[in-house]
Amino acid sequence: MTSTVVAAISPGLKVKNVKVFYGEAEAVKGVSIDFLPGKVTALIGPSGCGKSTLLRSLNRMHEETPGASVKGKVMLGDDDIYSSAVDPVAVRRTIGMVFQKPNPFPTMSIIDNVMAGPKLSGMKTEQLRERAEQALKDAGLWNEVKHKLNRPASGLSGGQQQRLCIARAIVLEPEVLLMDEPCSALDPVSTAKIEELIIKLKQRFAVVLVTHNLQQAVRVADRTAFMLDGELVEIGTTKKIFERPADKRTKEYVTGRFG
């Protein structure tokens, strides 16, 4: 698979027996799971269970860590993103990511933050601003920033910065959107805005959400996967996982007995 093929592949990811290592330590232990288009899939579990590590393996971010390695397959359509023929940069354009803490480019203007990715991808100048403005609208930020697009992104509030980062991720029209606790540093009002946005975005992307907030999973996720000690314990509809889990460990976690 070449980098030109990646963007044309149908949405959704199939994870097949993925194992993720930090040196010799196995952080994710043979996980197989499908992330479906048009759905929000929440990854839940106690700290250190491997959910964020699994998330980072889904667009090859994990391999940026020295000593890290991945075994198994992550299939985007018919192609394994870990194939030696695949350009990791192209993968990350197709599988976007939003991190726990907002990370806009602080010295860049608001609009330049959003245009940065398309510019690096070679988009024509006349298309850049139009695409960036649409991404800000899609991220629910346009009305708050349209009068100050050329001001530094560092002047935005935390919630606005996170929505700016979402705009920066979706401007490239990814097939999958990964979100690593995107609301953990935000106040309740900003959290509600991000959650509303997640529900809208699933109409366009397969969304994978890591969250420690179980109520957030209930509010926004169609499917929920529970991880423990690097293993996938079970996955099902969010209603089933929280009301009728098949595994005793899942029940103990979602009812607050540990974690």
Contact in structure between 62 and 180 (CB atoms under 8 Å): no
Residue 136 lies inside a defined structural domain of this protein: no
Residue 243 lies inside a defined structural domain of this protein: yes
Mean pLDDT across 135-147: 95
Q: Is the pLDDT of residue 109 over 50?
A: yes
Task: Report the domain count for the chain.
Answer: 1
Mean pLDDT across 240-259: 93
Q: Which amino acid is at 92?
A: R
Contact in structure between 220 and 198 (CB atoms under 8 Å): yes
Residue 113 lies inside a defined structural domain of this protein: no
Whichever domain contains 71, its CATH number is 3.40.50.300
Listing DSSP states for 179-225 in one string gives: EESTTTTS-HHHHHHHHHHHHHHTTTSEEEEE-S-HHHHHHH-SEEE
Q: What pLDDT score was predicted for residue 11? A: 52
Residue 52 lies inside a defined structural domain of this protein: yes
- Considering Cα of 25, then 27, then 31, then 35, what sign does the dihedral take? negative
Residue 163 lies inside a defined structural domain of this protein: no
Q: Is the pLDDT of residue 62 over 50?
A: yes
pLDDT band of 212, cuts 50, 70, 90:
very high
Residue 39 lies inside a defined structural domain of this protein: yes
Phi, psi of 123 (to 5 degrees): -65, 145
pLDDT digit string, tens, across residues 37-56: 999 999 999 999 999 999 99
45-76: string of b/e by CB count within 10 Å (b at 16+)?
beeebbbbbbbbbbbbbbeeeeebebebbbbb
Q: What pLDDT score was predicted for residue 121? A: 79
Pairing type for strands 13-22 and 40-44 reads: unpaired
Cα–Cα distance for residue pair 21/11, rounded to 1 Å: 27
Residue range(s) defining the domain that contains residue 79: 3-101+176-254
Compute the radius of gyration of the chain from its Cα atoms: 18
Which residue is listed with tokens 């194939």? 83
Q: Is the pLDDT of residue 254 over 90?
A: yes
| Residue 211: closest CA among 98, 111, 127 | 98
Q: Is the pLDDT of residue 5 over 70?
A: no
pTM score: 0.91
Residue 117 lies inside a defined structural domain of this protein: no
Residue 84 lies inside a defined structural domain of this protein: yes
| Region of poorest pLDDT, from 121-135, 168-182, 208-222 | 121-135
